[in-house]
Amino acid sequence: MTEQFEPRIVGFLCNWCSYAGADLAGTSKLKIPSSLTPIRVMCSSRIDPVLILTALLQGADGVLIAGCHPGDCHYNEGNYYARRRFAVLKKVVDSLGLESDRLCLSWVSASEGQRFAEVVNEFNEKIKKMGQNPMKKKML
Amino acid sequence: MNEIQSNLDILVIGAGITGIESSLMLSKSDRKVHLIEKTSYTGGMAIKFEEVFANMECSTCMVAPLQQELLQNKNINLLTLAEVEDVEGCFGNFTVKIHKKARYVDMKNCIGCNACFEPCPVHLKNEFEECLSERKAIYTPFAGALPNAPMIDTKHCLRFNGKDCRACQEACMFEAIDFNQKDEHIQLTIGAIIVATGYTPFDCREIPQYGYGKINNVFTAFEFERLYASNGPTDGKILLKNGKIPKSAAIIHCVGRDNKGYCSSVCCMYSLKFNHYLTSKIPGIKISEFYTDLCIPGKSHQKFYEKIKKMGTMLIRASDIEITEQGEEIAIKYIDVGGKKNSITVDMVILTSAIVPKDDAEKLAKILGITIDEYGFFKEQNQNASSVVTSKPGVFIVGCSQGPKNIQESISQAGAAVGKILSTH
Amino acid sequence: MNRKIGVYICECGPNIAEKIDIDKVIEAVTSLNDIVTVERYKLLCSEAGKNYLTEQIKKHSLTHLVVAACSPRDHQLTFMEVCENAKINPYLFQLANIREQCAWVTDNKEEATKKAIRLTKAAIARVRCHSPLEKKEIESNPDILIIGGGIAGIEASLQLAHSNRKIYLVEKNSFLGGLIKNFEKKYPEMQPCSASILQKIETIKKISNIKIFTDSEVQEILGFFGNFEVKVKNKKEKDIESFNVGAVVFATGSSLFDINKNPQYGYGKFDNVLTSLEFEQMNLSKKIVLKNNKTPKSVAIIYCVGRTDKGYCSEICCMYSIKFVRYLKDNIPDIKIVNFYSDLCIPGKSHQKFYEQTQGENIDFIRAENIDITKKGEQLNISYDDETNRKKNCIVDMVILSPALEPSVDAAKLAEFTGVPLGDGDFFAEEHEKLNPVSTSTQGVFIAGCAQGPKSISDTIIQAEAVTGKILSSLIPGKKIEPEVKVSQISESFCIGCKTCLDICSYGAITFDEMNKISVVNEVICRGCGNCVAACPSGAITLKHFTFNQIYEELKEAVQ
């Protein structure tokens, strides 16, 4: 089953840095696993824990949140808030008996097309090893 | 009182960060701006940097939104590959002749897919990447260049050298390649001019004892910037010429200061930034900084210096530096503060070049009817007044074309020139 | 409302067409709810493509538009404009990025096609939840309040006065001109400084649309960009004047580091130890003398006083100390001058020359550390460590200390009641270190000169002019302000008044309505990051165009 397993990863990307970095990966014709479906938001701080949990409950095998590097936020400090919320959420997810390793927070700048590709590939490999989100089976 | 009809349109020369900022500000007050740029892309020097001091913000993230806003702005007429040929008239009523070179790529049709690069048979050094990588005769200087449309280098394109090659044209699905495009001579009537032509780095070959150009692994600051750049020739890997990772590096400050007779004001800070670059990519690398006086003015810079110092960099106040090859390594001989001769060996040397005026500054000054100072920068009318005002009313100078300065100061000058124009004109 | 969604897939020449099986995408979305038509087109961003879309919208009476093509960074605005021209609200549009983030990054055509289907379905699901958004226009007041009557405030006033608006210039002292009124000359060109500022003060007094308040303090600034309400109190007459402005400039300048914090320099203890400002005043009065009225034969100038305490280099002290050498040599040609410095900071094109031309007989520059000043008879003894760490000393008649610059005391007060943050060194924090040095995170509040950080007179003038540029390009008489459309909104019924969102907003866009005990977003100030949405514990805040539902619908399709 694992060989056939094609993960579904939701990628919340901030408009200014990470979405631009993902675009650059495209312009540079780098390879990115098709498991990732990007969702553009203005700032990583918009992504509230509920959205991340919803993604897991909807059956996402992995959720990636990518924003500007610390200090680079287009809105001054949104990414710091995102980081703090993410840290708390990971604990909550663990305590609920869910797998917090299915969540990934990363910083990707507008010039880091290469890095974006690496981050997604790495995360994709990790999720592949973890297998399907058990929530998905339950829902089915 | 006689009132002469005055033209409200503005010409901005140079689409670096200072020129872009000037244009955007003017456009917000509903002025029509003609922004002309000598190269095929916008963003100037700042777009070459991976990060900027002191907050180490990603430069592309900082500049790209401005570039995008610029390209979408209906009040701004961006002319790339364009230069000023002639200026006549006076404040409120200038007639400007622009020479716009043919790109041979129709920007209306081109969608920036880059399909034309691959089939081009001509391999050339990429100047944008400080010749550390290759480009073709049809090219954009780097991935992510804006506007995202290539140009043909007619000096090397086979078709422009008597051969019947049309490889790029055949590859283009959008009929964007137009070999018949002609240079244009455009005449504009405008009210005022902002000159934002920027700078060029000091040519390190002028100081033979530093060994640049002769010794492998002696890099200029810009070469090093591109080595570190995540969209650069090594995808951001700091590598020696033999592909190995350096274990030690020396950064030489003030390269060209004695030759030029001024302190370029940014080199100390960007050297410290290089420290950060090196240690973030190569943990444990041994770094020595050779400096004379540390010039880190302003409220935020010393903090950055102290942070870097804590990372273990050796700061060596030195004079009479001489760099020679020693096998695979590089030897740096110097005289220390006590007057003693000393030396160390390193894997890599980075020369932090001074900021010097553009080669064509004098020519442009003549065309504009302004003067240059003893260093070759555009000269302000009077140092006691605003530094953006020249001896010619209606012509303003901003950024490093007026003198060496950092991005913040350049942006302030852009604002000042706009303020001058909007309040008097 | 009956939704009629049209979906258009751009081939982008071979870029999308070769990598994605567009027909399969069409097949996958055609039967979805609300879909009226699904078409492919060779290049939608071309003129022909845009015309085609316009015709299609009219032909099918579409209410919503989905385009699957390139990145929104490329052509979002292009297609929004098409919508506008075809009379659908441009926010009832969604662009699926199937080029940069699908076709160009996926080798396998089957996989790319599947992903393109997900992306297109997600865009359709999202657009169903879109609401039309309208541009707002807000009346604004073009008048300006400038706080601080030093060179920055004066330059800004003079320049803004040209532009048909009223300027209120508030100065706490009884006179204008700030610190530099005391400077006889300005480096490096050594042109008159004090005389020139006095001239400017005369000019400014004659300009009818500049109202000057001396001996006055700003007590309150309420409101937002374009509409601030200000209260100014006259400290002597105790009366308060209120008026409205559209923008505020903080030009509160700097003061000198308190040398009493560094007792090793003997300031206040020994005669003939002066601060740079005291020496400027002495020079201006043309009487450079010792306490006993004799002319000094030797002077030491100590650089970088207070630098270690402050943690930054004040940028101008090296240059003005070198200027002092000129003052001294001009007045007392055979005087001996010793400069004790640490790092010579003389950036910029003409400063090194100024330094070089200031060298000469009886002028020494010594790099020194651990300076300690004691009295030696009528004279002063300076002990120090030289470059090679050797203890040395030197005896002089007079010592001039060049202290660091620090923000004036008013800065902290202003920061407190306006909420404009202070940054490094407690100077006002600029909105962006590089790109917005004269703006603050409060829209419509600008900073100029040493209020922003230590700097020279030339750089101060530049910043004052830059503020003028910012104001003249954003606050235009007769022109309304157009705030961001995609802003946060707080539901009155869900807000529990916990105030969590207030501190989180970087822009101070959220205020608390004490009457109704709820938070309120000021749409003029909000930039639409959505941070408050994620922070709100009661789910009372929505970010327009990035609502929970819109993102939820998008992600439901993303995981299929």
- The CATH code of the domain that includes B231 is 3.50.50.60
Q: Which of B58-67, B400-409, C43-52 has the highest mean pLDDT?
A: B400-409
Picking from B56, B59, B231, the nearest residue to A24 by CB comes out as: B231
Domain count, chain A: 1
Span C73-86, average pLDDT: 94
| DSSP character at residue C102 | I
The span from the CA of C174 to the CA of C153, in Å, is 15
Residues B80 and B218 both lie in one domain: no
ipTM of this complex prediction, to 2 decimal places: 0.95
Using a pLDDT cut of 70, give the percent of chain B over it. Answer: 99
pLDDT on residue B1: 42
Q: Indicate the length of chain A as a whole number.
A: 140
Span C371-385, average pLDDT: 97
Instruction: Say if CB B287 and CB B314 are below 8 A apart.
Output: yes
HSE, CB side, 13 Å, CA atoms: give it for residue A87. 5
Nearest chain C Cα distance for residue B196, angstroms: 15
pLDDT on residue C105: 96
**pLDDT tens digits for C320-338?**
999 999 999 999 999 999 9
Q: Is residue B380 part of a domain?
A: yes
Q: Is residue A26 part of a domain?
A: yes
CB-based contact C71 A26, cutoff 8 Å? yes
Q: Which chains does A contact via 3+ CB–CB distances below 8 A?
A: B, C
Test the C interface: residue of A5, A32, A40, A51 with most C CBs within 10 Å: A40
Of B272, B297, B273, B405, the C-alpha closest to C312 is: B297
Strand pairing class (B218-220; B348-353): parallel
Exposed/middle/buried for residue C392 (C-beta within 10 Å: 0-12, 13-18, 19+): exposed
Domain of residue B261 covers: 202-355
CB-based contact A46 C100, cutoff 8 Å? no
The domain made up of C488-544 is a member of CATH 3.40.50.2000: no
Amino acid identity for residue C391 in this structure: K
Using a pLDDT cut of 90, give the percent of chain C over it. Answer: 94
Residues whose CB is less than 8 angstroms from the CB of residue C287 and which lie 6 or more positions away in sequence, other chains included = none
- Within 10 angstroms of residue A122's Cβ, the number of other Cβ atoms is 12
The span from the CA of C62 to the CA of B322, in Å, is 73
pLDDT on residue B6: 87
Instruction: Say if CB C261 and CB C308 are below 8 A apart.
Output: no
Return the structure tokens found at B319: 């004079």
CB-based contact A42 C546, cutoff 8 Å? yes
* Residue C164 pLDDT level (bands cut at 50, 70, 90): confident
**pLDDT tens digits for B217-249?**
999 999 999 999 988 999 899 999 999 999 999
Of B77, B35, B50, B15, the C-alpha closest to B270 is: B50
- The region, left, alpha or beta by phi > 0 then psi within -120 to 50, assigned to residue B211 is left
Chain B, nearest residue to C191 by Cα: B384
Of A6, A100, A5, the C-alpha closest to A52 is: A100
User: B56 CB near a chain A CB, below 8 Å?
Assistant: yes
Chain A, nearest residue to C121 by Cα: A37
* Start-to-end C-alpha separation, chain A: 16
The CA-based angle C314-C317-C322, given to 5 degrees, is 160
User: B237 CB near a chain A CB, below 8 Å?
Assistant: no
Residue whose structure tokens are 């308060």: C240
Residues of B in contact with C162 (CB under 8 A): 423-424
**Cβ contacts from A onto C, under 8 A:** 121
Residues B259 and B290 both lie in one domain: yes
The domain made up of C259-403 is a member of CATH 3.40.50.2000: no
Q: Which of B339, B355, B371 is the last residue of a domain?
A: B355
Instruction: Say if CB B61 and CB A16 are below 8 A apart.
Output: yes
Chain B, nearest residue to C425 by Cα: B299
Domain count, chain B: 2
Residues whose CB is less than 8 angstroms from the CB of residue A95 and which lie 6 or more positions away in sequence, other chains included = none
Q: What is the CATH number of domain C144-253+408-474?
A: 3.50.50.60
Instruction: Say if CB B12 and CB B33 are below 8 A apart.
Output: yes
Residue whose structure tokens are 């002025």: B31
Instruction: Say if CB C127 and CB C120 are below 8 A apart.
Output: no
pLDDT, greater one: B192 or B5 = B192
Residues whose CB is less than 8 angstroms from the CB of residue B35 and which lie 6 or more positions away in sequence, other chains included = B12, B15, B19, B20, B23, B70, B76, B77, B78, B79
Q: Is residue B164 part of a domain?
A: no
Residues whose CB is less than 8 angstroms from the CB of residue A140 and which lie 6 or more positions away in sequence, other chains included = none
The span from the CA of B99 to the CA of B36, in Å, is 10
Of C22, C27, C29, the C-alpha closest to C6 is: C29
**pLDDT tens digits for C490-524?**
999 999 999 999 999 989 899 999 999 999 999 98
Chain C, nearest residue to A84 by Cα: C535
**pLDDT of C259 higher than 80:** yes
pLDDT on residue C514: 95
Stated as kind and residue range, the H or E segment containing B271 is helix B267-281
Chain A, nearest residue to C115 by Cα: A34
Return the structure tokens found at C538: 């009661």
Residues B305 and B236 both lie in one domain: yes
Residues whose CB is less than 8 angstroms from the CB of residue A97 and which lie 6 or more positions away in sequence, other chains included = none
Span B391-408, average pLDDT: 97
Return the structure tokens found at C203: 């000019």
pLDDT on residue A138: 60
User: C555 CB near a chain A CB, below 8 Å?
Assistant: yes
Phi, psi angle pair for C319, to nearest 5°: -65, -40
Domain boundaries, chain C: 5-133, 144-253+408-474, 259-403, 488-544
Instruction: Say if CB C382 and CB C393 are below 8 A apart.
Output: yes
* Residue A135 pLDDT level (bands cut at 50, 70, 90): confident
| DSSP character at residue C198 | H
The span from the CA of C113 to the CA of C115, in Å, is 5
Q: Which of B110-114, B141-145, B404-408, C187-191 has the highest mean pLDDT?
A: B404-408
Domain of residue A134 covers: 9-139
Return the structure tokens found at B22: 């000037």
The span from the CA of A54 to the CA of A136, in Å, is 12
* Residue B397 pLDDT level (bands cut at 50, 70, 90): very high
Window from A27-31, B95-99, B408-412, C210-214 with minimum mean pLDDT:
A27-31
Residues B220 and B89 both lie in one domain: no
- The region, left, alpha or beta by phi > 0 then psi within -120 to 50, assigned to residue C550 is alpha
Instruction: Say if CB B75 and CB B31 are below 8 A apart.
Output: yes
**pLDDT of C534 higher than 90:** yes
Of A62, A59, A51, A63, the C-alpha closest to A137 is: A59
**pLDDT of A140 higher than 80:** no
C429 preceded by a cis bond (ω within 30 of 0): no
User: Quick one: angle between helices A49-57 and C548-558, nearest 10?
Assistant: 30
Q: Please, what is the average pLDDT of chain B?
A: 95
pLDDT on residue B3: 56
**pLDDT of B83 higher than 50:** yes
Nearest chain B Cα distance for residue A123, angstroms: 20
Exposed/middle/buried for residue B304 (C-beta within 10 Å: 0-12, 13-18, 19+): buried
Window from B254-268, C297-311, C410-424 with minimum mean pLDDT:
C410-424
Picking from C435, C438, C458, the nearest residue to B383 by CB comes out as: C458
| DSSP character at residue C169 | E
Q: Is residue A80 part of a domain?
A: yes
The span from the CA of C269 to the CA of C262, in Å, is 12
The span from the CA of C546 to the CA of C553, in Å, is 11
**pLDDT tens digits for B318-377?**
999 999 999 999 999 999 999 999 999 999 999 999 999 999 999 999 999 999 999 999
Three state DSSP letters for C329-382:
HHHCCCCEEEEEECCCCCEECCHHHHHHHHCCCCEEEEECEEEEEEEECCEEEE
C-alpha dihedral over B213, B217, B220, B225, to 10 degrees? 140
Nearest chain A Cα distance for residue C169, angstroms: 31
> What pTM, to 2 d.p., does this model score?
0.91
The CATH number, out of the four listed (3.40.30, 1.10.3470, 3.40.50, 2.40.10), of the domain defined by the range C5-133: 3.40.50
The CA-based angle C378-C383-C387, given to 5 degrees, is 145
User: B50 CB near a chain A CB, below 8 Å?
Assistant: yes
Q: Please, what is the average pLDDT of chain C?
A: 95
- Within 10 angstroms of residue A116's Cβ, the number of other Cβ atoms is 34
Q: Is residue A20 part of a domain?
A: yes
**pLDDT of A1 higher than 50:** no
Beta bridge partners of C144: C167, C247
> What separation in angstroms does the CA of A31 have from each of A24, A26, A130, B133, C552?
12, 8, 22, 21, 27
**pLDDT of B117 higher than 80:** yes
Residue whose structure tokens are 């030396």: B343
R_g of chain A, CA atoms, integer Å: 14
The span from the CA of B146 to the CA of B136, in Å, is 18
Q: Which of residues 116-155 of C touch A (CB under 8 A)?
A: 118-119, 122
One fold for C144-253+408-474 and C259-403? yes
Q: Is residue B147 part of a domain?
A: no
**pLDDT tens digits for B146-200?**
999 999 999 999 999 999 999 999 999 999 999 999 999 999 999 999 999 999 9
Q: Which chains does B contact via 3+ CB–CB distances below 8 A?
A: A, C
pLDDT on residue C163: 84
Q: Is residue A114 part of a domain?
A: yes
Nearest chain B Cα distance for residue A72, angstroms: 5
CB-based contact C529 A75, cutoff 8 Å? yes
- The CATH code of the domain that includes A27 is 3.40.50
Taking 3-state DSSP, the helix, strand and coil percentages for chain B, each rounded to the nearest 5, stand at 25, 30, 45
Instruction: Say if CB C35 and CB C23 are below 8 A apart.
Output: no
Q: Is residue B127 part of a domain?
A: no
Nearest chain B Cα distance for residue C259, angstroms: 19
Return the structure tokens found at C112: 């790319």
* Residue B4 pLDDT level (bands cut at 50, 70, 90): low
| Beta strands per DSSP E along C161-259 | 167-170, 185-186, 191-192, 210-213, 216-224, 227-234, 240-245, 247-250, 254-256
pLDDT on residue A18: 96
Residues B389 and B346 both lie in one domain: no
The span from the CA of C51 to the CA of C4, in Å, is 19
**pLDDT of B51 higher than 90:** yes
The span from the CA of B136 to the CA of B123, in Å, is 5
Instruction: Say if CB C278 and CB C182 are below 8 A apart.
Output: no
Beta bridge partners of B5: none
